[in-house]
Amino acid sequence: MIITGTNLFHIDNRVLQHIRNGKNYACEVYEARQTEIVLGRSAKAEDDVHLEKCEHDNVPVHRRAGGGGTVLLCRGMIVISVAGRTTLAYH
């Protein structure tokens, strides 16, 4: 089972909302409290994760809104989300 909408995955949204509200930069930090797997937006769980083993071992599998690959987080690991305002155009 893939879980969405947990605290970890609202971090990016909160950071971006700070920028939309006029801040020049914003940063959020999350410390993993358990082993968990995080899929990027377009990652395919069946390609990246042994879902049956995760379910057997009670390892939650999450999907974040942002891109990037699948990552394994363990207790004590830190996730940092940073965003900043820029005047440069993205190409």
Is the predicted pLDDT of residue 39 greater than 70, yes or no?
yes
- pLDDT of 50: 95
Q: Is 4 helix (H, G, I), strand (E, B) or coil?
A: coil
Distances (CA, A) of 62 to 22, 82, 85: 30, 20, 28
* Number of residues assigned to the chain: 91
Question: Is the whole model's pTM more than 0.75, yes or no?
Answer: no
- In the chain, % of residues over pLDDT 90: 42
Span 55-90, pLDDT tens digits: 999 999 988 767 788 999 999 999 888 889 888 876
What's CA 76's distance to the chain center, in Å?
A: 15
Is the predicted pLDDT of residue 23 greater than 90, yes or no?
yes
Q: Is 80 helix (H, G, I), strand (E, B) or coil?
A: strand
Q: What 8-state DSSP symbol labels residue 67? A: -
